[in-house]
Amino acid sequence: GQNIDQPTEMTATEGAIVQINCTYQTSGFNGLFWYQQHAGEAPTFLSYNVLDGLEEKGRFSSFLSRSKGYSYLLLKELQMKDSASYLCAVMDSNYQLIWGAGTKLIIKP
């Protein structure tokens, strides 16, 4: 079967750096997505990786290793507003999105 694993919950301190991991086992691969979802709000797109390596967008970076079935989302200079759930999703060979259960990130002052 197809599976996405990510930690259920993480805690970090304001101003610090946190890395949220995502491992996947899917039938084929057509890209990996990260979405951010604040409580009670819509998930919003953060990043898309289809080739190996690091993609940087301001304070957020996303890394992909296709051979290892592994990605991470790196958040730097954490702010209180970064408290949210982070959803990892992989598009398989049929262009179906397979979702992880999400990682709830709690930022403490």
Q: Could you give the CA distance from residue 12 to residue 19 in angstroms, rounded to a whole number?
A: 10
Q: Which is nearer to another protein, 4 or 12 (CB)?
A: 4
Q: Could you give the CA distance from residue 35 to residue 44 in angstroms, rounded to a whole number?
A: 5
Provide the β-strand partners of residue 48. Answer: 33
Buried b / exposed e across 4-22, counting CB within 10 Å, b at 16+?
bebeeebebeeeeebebeb
Nearest approach in angstroms of CB 16 to another protein is: 25
Candidate ranges 13-21, 41-49, 57-65, 73-81; the one touching another protein (CB under 8 A): 41-49
Q: Which is nearer to another protein, 13 or 44 (CB)?
A: 44
Candidate ranges 17-25, 37-45, 59-67, 68-76; the one touching another protein (CB under 8 A): 37-45
Answer whether 56's CB lies under 8 Å from 42's CB.
no
- Can you give the binding site for another protein, defined by CB under 8 A? 4, 8, 30-31, 33, 35, 40-45, 48, 50, 87, 89, 91, 94-102
